[in-house]
Amino acid sequence: MELIGKTKIDFIGMRNISFMISGVIALVGIIAIIQISRGAANMGIDFSGGTGLQIKFAKPFTTDEIRKALADNGIKEVELQEIKEGNQLLIKMRKSTAPVGKIAETIEQDFKKALPGNSFTIESTTEIGPSIGDKLRKDTLIAVALSLFCIILYIAWRFDFKFGIGATVATLHDVLAILAVFFVMNKEVNLLLITAVLTVAGYSLTDTVVVFDRIRENLKKNAKDSMKNVFNASINEVLSRTIVTSLTVFMAATSLWLMGGEVIHDFAFALVVGVAVGTYSSIFVASPVVVILEERAKS
């Protein structure tokens, strides 16, 4: 079976449109990064410090009664999220001043008093002191920078400098796109998201490498043809494998997203977005950037 037969799509010719779309995505991504570094985005408590609780109630509850129970005991700045399945509740408090170990206990006692008829179990507790959050943020920045740098180095060594730039731009684009989506949807930025982002950064290069390999092969074969034609022909030749490889990973990531449970729901979602964006960028971002660089070098 073949999903896509022989195609002759002028991918490089579409660069004006694709660059515009990618430009907007990247811009939102950059805003997201600025907001994240300012701590203004929806930060997970692993980065901001604070307390998170996952509680499973025996009976349905309303967030209003929870909010009231907490407010009565002086806990006001709190985010509540209901998980429909199994009467579960996520409580998140950032930048708490109380020492680690105390808040969870306080909340437990509050609920016992305020919701006498509804027994509950605490499924998980996460308490992170501010110093840990700071360290983690710094470590994460180093990790992201280091892995991107290593990838660039590898691509630049395996191909040549212009391809290295093309691959880097595409990878950065993917990273920004995931952050942009999370920022716009106001989803939580936590360590798992960063893990997903780095995984996508590594994976999305697979598609780019497949395209670049073919371009390099074709450039050797027919040196006379114009850059644009060689690139277009190469992308069209490998189009079906680019899509099929992404599709298999997309399937796996989607089943994680939909079936993997609450804890890794957002993580898997980031992977799904990343795989989709990564496929797009290897065709519409990486290759056109190299074409532009090559054309500039010639003229």
Residue 128: which of 167, 81, 94 has the closest Cα?
94
Q: Which of residues 60-89 bind another protein (CB under 8 A)?
A: none
- Is residue 43 exposed (0-12), middle (13-18) or buried (19+ Cβ within 10 Å)? buried
| Residue 5 in contact with another protein, rule: CB under 8 A | no
| Residue 4 in contact with another protein, rule: CB under 8 A | no
Cβ atoms 243, 168 nearer than 8 A? no
Cβ-based neighbours of 32, under 8 Å, separated by 6 or more: 41, 176, 179, 180, 182, 183, 184
**Residue by residue, what is the 3-state secondary structure of 180-206?**
HHHHHCCCCECHHHHHHHHHHHHHHHH
Q: In the chain, what is the greatest distance between 2 CA atoms, to the nearest angstrom?
A: 81
Of 139 and 295, CB closest to another protein: 139
How many CB atoms neighbour CB 182 within 10 A? 25
Of 40 and 142, CB closest to another protein: 142
| Residue 263 in contact with another protein, rule: CB under 8 A | yes
Of 140 and 232, CB closest to another protein: 140
Binding mask 100-139 toward another protein (x if CB under 8 A, else -) reads xx---x---------------xxxxxxxxx-xx------x
Amino acid at 177: A
Could you say which of 213, 219, 225, 292 contacts another protein (CB under 8 A)? Answer: 213
Residue 207: which of 296, 116, 137, 287 has the closest Cα?
287
Could you say which of 106, 199, 218, 229 contacts another protein (CB under 8 A)? Answer: 199
Of 20 and 109, CB closest to another protein: 109
3-state helix, strand, coil in the chain (%, to 5): 70, 10, 20
Of 66 and 268, CB closest to another protein: 268
HSE on the CB side for 263, CA within 13 Å? 6
Of 23 and 101, CB closest to another protein: 101
CB of 94 to another protein, least distance (A): 15
| Residue 143 in contact with another protein, rule: CB under 8 A | yes
How many CB atoms neighbour CB 16 within 10 A? 8
| Residue 202 in contact with another protein, rule: CB under 8 A | yes
Residue 29, token pair as written in the block: 């991504």
Q: How far apart are the first and last CA of the chain?
A: 44
Of 15 and 182, CB closest to another protein: 182
CB of 296 to another protein, least distance (A): 26
CB of 56 to another protein, least distance (A): 8
CB of 53 to another protein, least distance (A): 10
| Residue 155 in contact with another protein, rule: CB under 8 A | yes
Binding site for another protein (CB under 8 A): 1, 3, 54, 56, 99-101, 105, 121-129, 131-132, 139-140, 142-143, 146-147, 150-151, 154-155, 158, 191-192, 195, 198-199, 201-203, 205-206, 209-210, 213, 237-238, 240-241, 244-245, 247-253, 255-256, 258-261, 263-264, 267-268, 271
